[in-house]
Amino acid sequence: MLSTIQPSIKQTVLPIESSSFGRNALPRITSNNKVNTSDKTEISGLLSFALSMQFAEMNYSESSSEMLYRSDDNSLALKANRSIDVNLKLEKFQFDITLSAESLGLDASAFGNKSEPMTLKLQYTQFDLMLSRDIQVKQHKTLRTPQEIIQDLIKGLTTAMQDPDKRTIIYTLDDEAVQSLVQSDPKLAKLFSELVMIMNAVNLMKDQSHGNHDYTIMLSGKSKPYTEFTDDMDVKGFAKEYSVNITILPPQSDSAAQAESATSSLPSKQ
């Protein structure tokens, strides 16, 4: 006699991502060795009980980073970060129980084959899967480098000195340009100051300012922004499996009677 209980198992298939950008992936897989334990207990002459357990765990992680640059000035346009963490655990329990027909009050009529034991197998499987995903998109403002701002000042001074109207030269800085220069190397800050001194010296050699007709050099520290895309995925799975094997032995009294009957049916030796 065979009885099987098999519930449905939830399954999940993770998508495989591909990209045309260069990828620098760092996969890592760790798996713990299975732990097998077993225990067998003889309760009485009519019953025995055995228990075996198995535990397994697997960890997998991967991260990648991709960057896209603009073709005109090679500035950063897009930065994408992806990561995935997977943790899977498995627990298996197996129970083996042996009973005698006498302990259950069964006789030989309950067995199809009186010489073969009766077997019952029960199995239950439970699988839990938890998936979480965090997607973020951020816009980052960037600053021009101090070298770029100084180069703009040099170009402006070169052009202003060629001005036929000999207008007074002035310059303006936006907040981003000031922030970039403040964070710059002291040598670059000194160079910027020296260029401003040269500009003032040139102005002294010219006539007085013409008011709104001044030659203005506008220095900006604003750079092109870039977009950052972050995709973090966390997968956790936990599975449990229970197996119960019950073996019922045929009545020993009937077996002994059959053996005695078979012996008595043999011809006696004279």
Least confident of 27-31, 161-165, 243-247: 27-31
Cα 165 to Cα 177, 208, 212, distances in angstroms: 28, 12, 13
Report d(CA 185, CA 190) in Å as an integer.
Answer: 9
95-128 residues labelled b (16+ CB within 10 A) or e (exposed)? ebbbbbbeeeebeeeebeeeeeebeeeeeeeebe
pLDDT grade, residue 32 (50/70/90)?
low
Digit-coded pLDDT (tens) for 88-138: 999 999 999 988 888 777 887 878 777 788 889 999 999 999 999 999 999
Digit-coded pLDDT (tens) for 147-175: 888 888 888 888 888 877 777 888 888 88
Closest CA to 64 of 133, 31, 17: 17
Strands in the chain per DSSP E = 28-44, 47-69, 76-100, 118-140, 169-173, 215-219, 226-249
Rg (CA), the chain: 43
Report d(CA 120, CA 104) in Å as an integer.
Answer: 14
